[in-house]
Amino acid sequence: MSSREPALALPALGYGAANVGNLFRELSDDDAWAVLDAAWESGIRYYDTAPHYGLGLSERRLGAFLQTKPRDEYVLSTKVGRLLRPNPRYAGGLDTANDFHVPDDLQRVWDFSADGIRTSLDESRERLGIERIDLLYLHDPERHDLDLALAEGFPAMQQLRADGEVTAIGIGSMVSEALATAVRSADLDLIMVAGRYTLLEQPAAADVLPACRENGTGIVAASVFNSGLLAASEPRRDGRYEYGQLPDELWDRLVRIAAVCADHDVPLPAAAIRFPLQAGEVRSVVVGGSRPAQLRQNAEYAALDIPDALWHDLAAQGLIPGADD
């Protein structure tokens, strides 16, 4: 087991800025600012974005907002691996194939080379209008070529860290195998685990958490509401699960989890936010949100005092890993 000191201290709650990149629906500039302002006023001080989110719109909006705040008061992460380049096939359409309601006048181009990684960082700095990026993730490398990421992408990021260009580096993915492989093969500080370690399901517990424990790598848990399934105390059977319908087995599990939370008078979303932090490897939970009220509510949930008995009862019913798992 590694005992290395964390390269970067993270607040327990962060905001994932995909929504201000017009994820799923269009936000005006004023609406996006109101969301970010609600996050800040609620005490959130870690912000995560990516070129992928709205073809750069998320970075531009988040950067404009954070430029009004003292730089030493927040942590900022973005991602590399996809460069944004003019789309020669642009015909006035939207990027709805990727769930973003923005013009698809740009296209994403994979590039894990040293030049590509450095260029991506520089272009993100320009869009953000902020020079200092604290944390850099390689975004979904398994969707392109994980072997190439291991051979070129991560070494390029390690060099940026060694040169003092960023404080910490990692990988962001929703694929447990890719996350575990990256942790064991590259010198990473933090990884963003999207949807693979949540109150509803914990496939990352089998391989990713042990790899992080062995290597002293911290975890940022994202997509902790499982596409919204855990975002309300009373689950809905017609809720979506990732890109399709919710399987019966997971629905039954969700109903049982909600019942245990109700028995302890704990809102299901509060348990969803706080659950990942029960693992010592998890340093922060990142939540999204496209309305100011959602951000204020999530911050309240994150601060809620949750009895240990809740976790004990969930573990006793086999709904979350127990202390010995």
Residues in the chain, total: 325
DSSP 163: T
3-state SS of the chain: helix, strand, coil percent to 5?
40, 20, 40
Q: Coil, strand, or helix at residue 18?
A: coil
Of 15, 46, 47, 53, catalytic: 53
Cβ atoms within 10 Å, residue 307 = 11
Cβ neighbours for 282, distance < 8 A, ≥ 6 positions apart: 197, 218, 219, 220, 221, 276
Pairwise CA distance, residues 157 & 42, whole Å: 32
Plot region of 138 (φ>0 → left; ψ -120 to 50 → alpha; else → beta): beta
**Active-site annotation holds for 137:** no
Query: Locate tokens 């964390």: which residue?
Result: 6
Q: What is the 3-state secondary structure (H, E, C) of 183-216?
A: HHHCCCCEEEEECCCCCCCCCHHHHHHHHHHHHC
Catalytic residues: 53
